[in-house]
Structure 1
Amino acid sequence: MSRRVVITGMGVRAPGGSGTEEFWSLLAAGRTATRRISFFDPTPFRSQLAGECDFDAGAEGLTPREVRRMDRATQFAVVCARDAVSDSRLDFGALDPSRVGVSLGSAVAAATSLEREYLVLSDAGRQWEVDPGYLSPHMYDYLTPGKMPAEVAWTVGAEGPVALVSNGCTSGLDAVGNAVQLIADGTADVMLAGAADTPVTPVVVASFDAIKATTNRNDDPAHASRPFDASRNGFVLAEGAAVFVLEELERARARGATIYAEVSGYATRLNAYHMTGLKTDGREMAEAIRVALDQSRLNADAIDYVNAHGSGTVQNDRHETAAFKRALGDHAYRTPISSIKSMVGHSLGAIGSVEIAACALAMKHNVVPPTANLYRSDPECDLDYVPLTAREQRVDTVLTVGSGFGGFQSAMLLRRPEGVS
């Protein structure tokens, strides 16, 4: 029989705060953390906005050697993993290391370090033939995405299954889903799972500029991310990370752990349609939702809150609206739905895990976070998207979804286990 899997620890780094509590405070207040890019001069770019994290690696406890060795995204992952372990109060030293694993997600991995090193090697692009004498001794680490979960594994002494999932913007959901399955089928007892991305770099900004996926509302950064609003015109790029301790339910109960949520269902589908385009009927996302519900043994009317992908592009928001109606039926009209990307931006592969953290905290506090900047809904997005202000209500079951370039569509069900208040 498949084992039930729960979240017992978490660590978050997101725009507008330095930890989990500040992250939740921002969401509950409906505040935005998007701003003009400060990491480099954004003037030449169409979109000059981002959700940046005020991250001080030294203050976070990383040594100068660790900072040099690790890309910024890996630093985020390691710091979040340390927080999650501390939050879980689980003694990793007493565990069988071969039964502890790591599953992390990332869309662009070490993009920050790779771009920096390319600029050094090429003399800011002026030299076609580069001088290897300027090559960083850690370039291999930057080129190998698997270095991120390996660093987290070293941090906790994990010797079980270790992997990096890179499915674009669903990576953060899919990495946690992979970890849940490993525990459920008995391959591991404890997993560190989550995602990290730090894509606020010129090459990534330019890439999204080229396809006009990001907003150019540069005169008003705080209100630029507008999921489901009639005036939306693209997403705001961001960075962030979230990592969780996952373990089997009965093990967690036996040690008296604080349980945030049970991951009761997960599914992913691909639309096999277009690299960036979406079908208007939302069929593949709806199918992922249906399978996740089946795994959870729940009907659609059990869902108390939906965390939408809600990127703020016209096609995504309409695609999701159609998917919710298709999968949830009439209950879609009665269920509060919101997008936290309106407040913290879109951190690509990391956002799915950041949103899982938001869902778990919504359950803990019985508060549905709002969709900031939603003043006038698109008539084709006619569901309850919780505009502007958080809503207090009992939250026992949450659906969170993700949509990614390449056609990835993922859905996850979180629920409050019996006996957890």
Structure 2
Amino acid sequence: MTAVLNEPTTSPKVEDRTHLERAKAVAEIVEAEANAIEEGATITKPVYDALVENRLFWMAVPKELNGMGLGLVESFEVIEELSRADGSTGWAFMANSLSTSLAAGFLAPQGQQDLFAHDVPGITAGMILPTGSGRKVEGGYVVTGNYQFASGSAHASWIGAGFVVSDEEGNPLTTPEGGPVCRTAFVPRDEAEFRGNWNVWGLVGTGSYDYGLTEVFIPEEHCFDTFTTEAVRSEPLFRFGLLGIGVGGHAPVALGIARRALDEIVKVATVKGRVGYPTVIADSEIFKLEFAKTEALYRAARAYVYEVHREAEDWVNAGNPLTELHNARLRQSITWVQEVTATVTNFAHRWGGSQSFRNPTALGRATRDAAVATQHLLVDPMSMVDAAGAIMGEYGNGRS
């Protein structure tokens, strides 16, 4: 018998807030907890409680499944605000909220119920790419695999596990096109073996631990085709597909970190003097010139990220599938903004003096977080190369 979803338990005061009002309220708590988040390598209980109270973990989950039903652009605005407060929190929240939306959009109805038919719905984390192996058995799969980078896993209730499927004799199954059959699954957190090895110098508070599964049975209803473009649900958000949703969230994290670096360097520059400067460095023409150019670069990147995502969202909201050019523009903007954020944080770092490397300081965190964020596989510069062909088609044809 199908479970009946509970009504959300938020108070009218919370329900009456816009998504940005909720994000700003949580961001105040995040800023107060930022040092503790980095020290503990994960978000703290006050931050977790605030995210639950404001239903933000489920912002991109359909309302029917206890979520807020936000689209991608509105979700980006929430991620950006939390990343401005603390890069690690924004990153972990991005990983949780967007992978949770994928579970809502692509799992079969019974799987959706199992994850979301609760007063506190499921929160997901972990790797969905097929690095494990799964043996097909009656009713599901027996999966073994080693995984990395489970950002936000300390407070997640379900953990992602991608795997390549074989038959009961261990022979790999293939698609009609000859490729491997790959599935993505979510398992209860206590079925994963966490290795506690997140020892890094940037994005420290994301808790992006390695983990593994050993002969874990996963029912079919908790799995979906890793490379599908067909969502189970009809909400336009899911027409962005697994990669469109999962990769896109890196852009607002970068934007939030860049904004925080600019905020912090202005605070420093207005009180900090240097040898050879008659007053504080904020009065220096050199600083003003570099700040104006860097801030313009940040604003241009932010405008472009939101421009291409709004255009794509309007397109899918009208019932259309994304075109090759849409996908190229999305990938271009998501990767480019990482480079811009690196430029912004390097500028702030260079002018910040000891505030750039002391612990704990927000400017030091922003610098380190940006340096680590640019190393992610999904924002490698090669994605710009892949996007260039479709974008070049708009040029060289003589049109004004």
- Structure with greater helix percent: 2
Q: Using structure 2 for the length normalisation, give the TM-score.
A: 0.28
Which structure is richer in relative contact order (CA contacts within 8 A, separation 6 or more)? Answer: 1
Q: Using structure 1 for the length normalisation, give the TM-score.
A: 0.27
